[in-house]
């Protein structure tokens, strides 16, 4: 299924936008990541609340036009595209390299409050848990080493399946959400 998903470079997508083609770009990162920096034409629909049926129903007759999906580097966008393809929607396009590539090309972005990326949050949390398990195992009781083993197994599973449970949990934390007032006051066009 993933082999059939179309891709576009940030430059090519921006050229389409400049040429007046209708661009519907969905950013599937967390609201906090989106608020920090996003491609100018993007609107935020976080991956964990992405409902392809609702999005397609709200497109008001523009089903024939491509729907572009972007994230930080391309992984979440690829998974989001697969959700649409599973339901038979084939006019879905993954923006290669994501927002990171968009910025590196010097394309227009909206900047807001700086946040820790979800990837960094996962690394920090995993590191703290492994260190805590090792220290508790050494100081209090060897059974606490199980904490480190559990985190290690989770990281291995995440690498094999390309799905991170810790990342999904962290994405729902309050610091990765934004209040409705901030969201309404933030321009994304």
Q: State the Cα torsion 84-90-92-95 to the nearest 10°.
A: 110
Active site residue: 71, 81, 164, 182, which one?
A: 71
* C-alpha to C-alpha distance for 94 and 96, rounded to whole angstroms: 6
Q: How far apart are CA 151 and CA 110, in angstroms?
A: 36
CB 17 within 8 A of CB 23: yes
Is 81 an active-site residue? no
DSSP, residue by residue, 64-86: TS-EEEE-SSSHHHHHHHHHHHH
- Ordered DSSP codes for 142-171: GGGHHHHHHHHHHHHHHHHHT--HHHHHHH
47 touches 71 (CB < 8 A)? yes
Query: What residues are annotated to the active site?
Result: 71
């Amino acid at each position: 299924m993933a082999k059939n998903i179309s891709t576009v470079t940030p430059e090519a997508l921006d050229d389409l936008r400049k040429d007046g083609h209708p661009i519907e770009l969905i950013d599937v990162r967390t609201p906090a990541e989106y608020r920090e920096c996003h491609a100018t034409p993007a609107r935020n629909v976080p991956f964990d609340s992405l409902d392809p049926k609702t999005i397609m129903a709200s497109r008001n007759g523009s089903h024939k036009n491509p729907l572009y999906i972007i994230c930080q580097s391309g992984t979440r966008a690829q998974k989001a595209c697969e959700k649409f393809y599973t339901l038979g929607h084939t006019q879905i396009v993954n923006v290669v390299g994501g927002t990171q590539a968009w910025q590196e090309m010097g394309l227009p972005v909206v900047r807001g409050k700086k946040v820790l990326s979800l990837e960094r949050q996962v690394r920090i949390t995993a590191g703290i848990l492994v260190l805590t398990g090792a220290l508790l195992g050494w100081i209090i009781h060897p059974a606490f080493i199980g904490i480190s083993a559990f985190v290690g197994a989770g990281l291995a599973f995440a690498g094999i399946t390309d799905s991170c449970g810790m990342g999904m949990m962290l994405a729902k934390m309050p610091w990765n959400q934004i209040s409705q007032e901030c969201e309404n006051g933030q321009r994304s066009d």
